[in-house]
A and B are shown apart, each in its own frame.
Chain A
């Protein structure tokens, strides 16, 4: 029997606000324990939450960018459970009425476009961190650090529209890129500012009903998400083929072992007793605010890829690589526009020097000038690399470096002909052998000319002139 997977992804993105969602503490990463805390985020008796406007703005912009409908009334609820990293013993989160619903993201796979639905986007607060003083096995205590409590999170839930691990990966990367383009999240998966859980089930191809799903957690890179999905799909198919049934459960991805394993211990029957948080009034978002924010949405990755590919005539793959960063794509466009030649070469250079470009250590002129100089034969490919390396981080014009280092090559036909004549005149024996059919000697002549010009001759032109003269 042939099976197909049904996958839905839940992303938790940390919003790039300065302060927490319900108090004025810093969201800064890596502070000493409990440094970024106050009575509100540590749940002291009597404190009350006040909503950070920026967090709402970020969620609205995300909703607009993913074609979601922003609801003019959404409600914060309390999700009640006890844990030492959750000071109030409830998490403030949107439950029944989320901020936005019914959107989608388009992903392109092998020339076709797949539309992945987005069920909902909502705001919530993060919990703190429990350090299991586990340096010693059998430690009797755990330690709570509440710095992360109330850091703003945005949860983005996809429809179960994803069918393969690769599609899942593509969706996640595109979503991450959108959030980074919008500057609402730094997208760092390793540091936990972009987290993903997955709901996975399998069913015989053609069947309409969903199979029993497992929830996957603990996947901290895009690659790990794909690997975990692959493994879990295979596992579920095997269970069914062995005559068993998939159990609804939460499973953790063990990256080292490359398997998913059931979450340990008895899971207490979750009963979160959600109810509207009486401390926060409903969130009212009027159409005017949404429209105002819509104007701030930049060109998004999907549109950018298509435009770069068609406007510059570069391969779609290159356009995708360039669009993985808004900065890189802008850089490419500036460089390509500054130089009228083949954008494909400019694109290659931008991709090659991506790190320095994204780090802001290079100007578009550097690439434009280097590409142009190569095109005109003014510099060699080797010199081009040397020049770019020398220019990174200095702010010095690359052509000034070229001249200072004397890295131009001789591409002037007249000048080269004189040198070629000289070398031919100086090596009559070799000329004779060559003309007798020992064409392998061409490289000897090239070498002589390079020696004569101290490596500055344009090798392509040298060969052309030589071949003509040696006839």
Chain B
């Protein structure tokens, strides 16, 4: 890899170089910490950076290797986590003032798995407050910025992670996706993001937004890199009742699989109005790439698509209103001082320490669950969720994967939509149905807009068939070479 700067290496190359002792984990870690120092002031991708701890861990990994033992596929490789995964002894904020100083007493399962695989943790990445947002502008720690154009949003809610990966400040990160929060920022930052099947990755220690939709997954610069990280974090967990005991296949091997004969569904509802022309063109290129390799495009219909957003904006906020009720100033986090009595303390704590978007969703969710409205809102949404699930079931009877745009437009400007919630919500219109159905999805870069902004294609698969979407995404990635690290002065 002579001549290529360390921060542009793939994770696979970095892991191999460490394992074969061409480079030490300390050298890699130091290089990326320097990269963070240089880039982070511009993109604000990290809430917490862990220079000393990362160097200590890297030294320990080097020693282990010298003693003849590699922990796992990420041995000595510096990575980072969205600040939604609990890390024992390391502040975990979820992008919120209410947890600005929260020191978790335990590690998330994903945190543990990353460490067991030998990774070095560089820091905790910026995000929309409680993962509610599509732009990383709702973070209490200030907005993250798109490394390709610093006046634009990196997407959200895992915007810090996508920006950090695109800026070459880590080899990969783990984000979370409730309605597109991995795939949409990956698309906007020109990197790869995987939302696994619901139940594939443990949610234990991943701070909940909407429990029936949340799922952790990797963001990396290449499909094989993402596949390796997914292999590390996937698998059943006794501490998460909703994790599913299905064997974890060799995801990396899947990325080398041929797509010949693969049936690729193109839902007509996803290519209708509101889709930016440059995005349409780029996704069509992605289809051409697959077809050129022997895949077959099939037009399909997912007839209830137009109801997905409404369904999502009932179920998500309803679950969130309950999940976020624990932030009451009693056991941890921010507490408003000087309140008269308990109720006032709780109300002021929550009023002062939650941002506008979080409050909005708590209000919607509380309203939708409240007496007299449950059936009209939550009950209704659960039924429409069934229809959306059936749409996919029927579609997958005839196709192996579904190809769509990830986001309707490339990255928009910071501040452009922040005060217009409904317009902001439309950014997730193509990613939301996947969460409601619980199926896996991936965003892979497939082009650039005339302004030089990345565009991603989304592939959706059957439950627990991450292999098919990894194979198709890897094929697109090989056929459409694109830069993966943003230029220094975007």
A and B touch in the complex (CB under 8 A): yes
Q: Which residues of A contact B (CB under 8 A)?
A: 39, 42-51, 78, 80, 82, 84, 87-90, 142, 144, 271, 273-275, 278-281
- Chain A residues within 8 Å of B206, by CB: 46
Pair A80/B241 contact, Cβ less than 8 Å: no
**Given known contacts A39-B105, A275-B318, A275-B369, A89 and B239 CB-to-CB distance under 8 angstroms:** no
A78–B212 alpha-carbon span in the complex (Å)? 14
- Chain A residues within 8 Å of B241, by CB: 48-51, 279-281
Pair A279/B205 contact, Cβ less than 8 Å: no
Pair B331/A48 contact, Cβ less than 8 Å: no
Task: List 11 other contacts, CB 8 Å, given A47-B204, A82-B325, A144-B330.
Answer: A44-B104, A46-B108, A46-B206, A78-B322, A82-B343, A87-B330, A89-B326, A275-B322, A275-B378, A278-B211, A280-B242
**Given known contacts A82-B325, A87-B331, A279 and B211 CB-to-CB distance under 8 angstroms:** yes
Pair B319/A82 contact, Cβ less than 8 Å: no
**Given known contacts A273-B366, A278-B319, A84 and B239 CB-to-CB distance under 8 angstroms:** no
A279–B94 alpha-carbon span in the complex (Å)? 19
A-B pairs with beta carbons under 8 A, tally = 103
Pair A90/B242 contact, Cβ less than 8 Å: no
Interface: B92 (CB within 8 A): yes
B interface bracket (residues with beta carbon within 8 Å of A): 35 or more
Pair A84/B342 contact, Cβ less than 8 Å: yes
Pair B240/A44 contact, Cβ less than 8 Å: no
Q: Which of B331-379 contact A (CB under 8 A)?
A: 331-332, 342-343, 346, 366, 369-371, 374, 378
Interface: B86 (CB within 8 A): yes
Describe B's contact surface by its main secondary structure: loop
- Chain B residues within 8 Å of A90, by CB: 322, 325
Pair B331/A142 contact, Cβ less than 8 Å: no
Pair A279/B328 contact, Cβ less than 8 Å: no
Closest to B342 in A: A84
Closest to A39 in B: B106
- Chain A residues within 8 Å of B395, by CB: none
Q: Which of B283-342 contact A (CB under 8 A)?
A: 318-319, 321-322, 325-328, 330-332, 342
Could you name 27 residue pairs across A and B whose Cβ atoms are closer than 8 Å? A44-B332, A45-B86, A45-B208, A46-B86, A46-B203, A48-B204, A48-B239, A48-B240, A48-B241, A49-B241, A50-B238, A50-B241, A51-B241, A80-B325, A84-B342, A87-B331, A88-B326, A144-B330, A273-B371, A274-B369, A275-B378, A278-B210, A278-B212, A279-B208, A280-B242, A281-B241, A281-B242
Pair B203/A48 contact, Cβ less than 8 Å: yes
> What are the 5 A-B residue pairs with the smallest beta carbon separation, nearest first?
A89-B325, A278-B212, A273-B369, A278-B211, A46-B205
Please indicate which of the listed interface residues B203, B204, B319, B326 has the most CB atoms of chain A within 10 Å of its own CB: B326
A279–B202 alpha-carbon span in the complex (Å)? 11
Please indicate which of the listed interface residues A46, A47, A51 has the most CB atoms of chain B within 10 Å of its own CB: A46
A84–B328 alpha-carbon span in the complex (Å)? 8
**Given known contacts A78-B322, A89-B325, A47 and B205 CB-to-CB distance under 8 angstroms:** yes
Pair B370/A44 contact, Cβ less than 8 Å: no
Q: Which of B206-257 contact A (CB under 8 A)?
A: 206-208, 210-212, 238-242
- Chain B residues within 8 Å of A46, by CB: 85-86, 104, 108, 203-208
A48–B321 alpha-carbon span in the complex (Å)? 16
Pair B242/A279 contact, Cβ less than 8 Å: yes
Please indicate which of the listed interface residues A45, A80, A89, A90 has the most CB atoms of chain B within 10 Å of its own CB: A45
- Chain B residues within 8 Å of A279, by CB: 208, 211, 241-242
A465–B322 alpha-carbon span in the complex (Å)? 88
Interface: B99 (CB within 8 A): yes
Pair A87/B378 contact, Cβ less than 8 Å: no
- Chain A residues within 8 Å of B271, by CB: none
A273–B422 alpha-carbon span in the complex (Å)? 25
